[in-house]
Amino acid sequence: MSIENTPKDYTDRKYRVYFEVMDIEEKVKKILASYSSTPLSEKPYGYEATVAMQMIPEIIRKVAAENIAIYQVIREGERNHS
């Protein structure tokens, strides 16, 4: 059984992930930028970032520590670097 694309994926494989938030003071933007391997893509209600699977829970913890609600997190698929 493959661990690829699962919570047990500890590889450096990067995924495009959408974080839906209300980021009035751009705190989430700063947090995501510190983890993303590519520039952030701003959306009307959040951001897309390119991060490793194991960084997702850490990002959520940091955002929550800033008392900012996360409305959804969507892993959109593996980022192709070619």
If the chain, 82 residues long, is cut into consecutive pieces of 10 residues, what is the mean pLDDT of each piece?
72 91 94 95 96 94 96 83 46
Burial of 52 (0-12, 13-18, 19+ CB in 10 A): middle
Whole-structure pTM value: 0.85
Q: Which tokens hold the place of 72?
A: 């959804």
Residue 79's pLDDT is: 66
CATH of 14-78, one of 3.30.70.980, 3.30.360.10, 3.40.830.10, 3.40.50.20: 3.30.70.980
- Show me where the domains of the chain are located: 14-78
